[in-house]
Chains A and B, each alone.
Chain A
Amino acid sequence: MSARQKLGGMGGNLLAWGYALIILGPMVWILSNSFKRQIDILMGTTIAPITLANYHQIINSRQSHFLWNLWNSAIVSVVSTLLVLIIATVAAFTLARLQPPRWVSFILLGWALVFHMLPTLTFVGSWYVMFTEVGLHGTYTALILAQVVQGLPMALFLMIGFVMNIPKELVQAARLDGCTYPQVFRHLILPLSLGGMAAAGALTFISAWSDFAVALNLSNKDTMTAPVAIATFAQEHQILYGQMAAASMLSMLPALAFIMFGQRFVVRGLLAGAVK
Chain B
Amino acid sequence: MAHLELQKVAKSYGAVEVIPGVDFEINSGEFLVLVGPSGSGKSTLLKMIAGLEETTSGKILVDGQDITHLDPSARDLAMVFQSYALYPHMTVRDNMSFALRMRGEDPAVIDQRVREAVAMLDLGGLEDRKPGQLSGGQRQRVAMGRCVVRNPKLFLFDEPLSNLDAKLRAQTRIEIRRLHERLKATSIFVTHDQVEAMTMADRIALLKDGKLQQIGSPQDLYLRPRNTFVATFIGTPEMNLLAGRLQMAEGHFHIGGMRLPASAGQQSRLSVACHSGTAVMVGVRPEHFAIVLNTTPGALQVTVNVTEWLGHEIFIFGQSDLGSISVRVPEGLETTPAQGDVLSILPIADRWHVFDAGSSENVLLD
**Interface membership of chain A positions 40-51, coded 1 if the CB is closer than 8 angstroms to chain B and 0 otherwise:** 000000000000
A149 an interface residue at 8 Å Cβ cutoff?
A: no
Question: Could you say which interface size class chain B belongs to?
Answer: 20 to 34
Asked if residues B83 and A177 are in contact (CB atoms below 8 Å), the reply is no
Docked CA distance A177–B81 (Å): 13
Task: Give the nearest-CB partner of A180 in chain B.
Answer: B73
Residues of B within 8 A of A192 (CB): 88-89
Asked if residues B89 and A177 are in contact (CB atoms below 8 Å), the reply is no
For the residues of B in contact with A, the DSSP-based class is loop
Chain A residues 151 to 203 lying within 8 A of chain B, measured CB to CB, are 167, 169-170, 172-180, 183, 187-188, 191-192
Docked CA distance A176–B79 (Å): 7
Asked if residues B77 and A177 are in contact (CB atoms below 8 Å), the reply is no
Docked CA distance A169–B50 (Å): 12
Residues of B within 8 A of A187 (CB): 98, 102
CB proximity of B233 to chain A, nearest CB, Å: 27
Residues of B within 8 A of A183 (CB): 102
Docked CA distance A167–B89 (Å): 13
Asked if residues B87 and A167 are in contact (CB atoms below 8 Å), the reply is no
Residues of B within 8 A of A178 (CB): 73-74, 99, 102-103
Residues of B within 8 A of A170 (CB): 85, 87-88
Q: Which one, B52, B88, B146, contacts A175 given CB within 8 A?
A: B52
B78 an interface residue at 8 Å Cβ cutoff?
A: yes
Asked if residues B52 and A177 are in contact (CB atoms below 8 Å), the reply is no
Task: Give the nearest-CB partner of B158 in chain A.
Answer: A169
**Interface membership of chain B positions 59-92, coded 1 if the CB is closer than 8 angstroms to chain A and 0 otherwise:** 0000000000001111101110111011111000
Asked if residues B73 and A191 are in contact (CB atoms below 8 Å), the reply is no
CB proximity of B92 to chain A, nearest CB, Å: 15
Residues of A within 8 A of B87 (CB): 170, 173-174, 188
CB proximity of B122 to chain A, nearest CB, Å: 22
- With A172-B52, A188-B87, A192-B88 given, is the CB distance from A179 to B81 under 8 Å? no
Q: Which of A's residues lie within 8 Å of B, judged by CB?
A: 167, 169-170, 172-180, 183, 187-188, 191-192
Pairs A–B under 8 Å by Cβ, sample size 8: A172-B81, A173-B79, A173-B81, A175-B72, A176-B77, A177-B99, A180-B71, A187-B98
Using A173-B85, A173-B87 as known contacts, list a sample of 17 further A-B pairs with CB atoms less than 8 Å apart, ordered by residue number in A: A169-B85, A172-B72, A172-B81, A173-B79, A173-B81, A174-B98, A175-B73, A176-B75, A176-B77, A177-B102, A178-B73, A178-B102, A178-B103, A179-B102, A187-B98, A188-B87, A192-B89
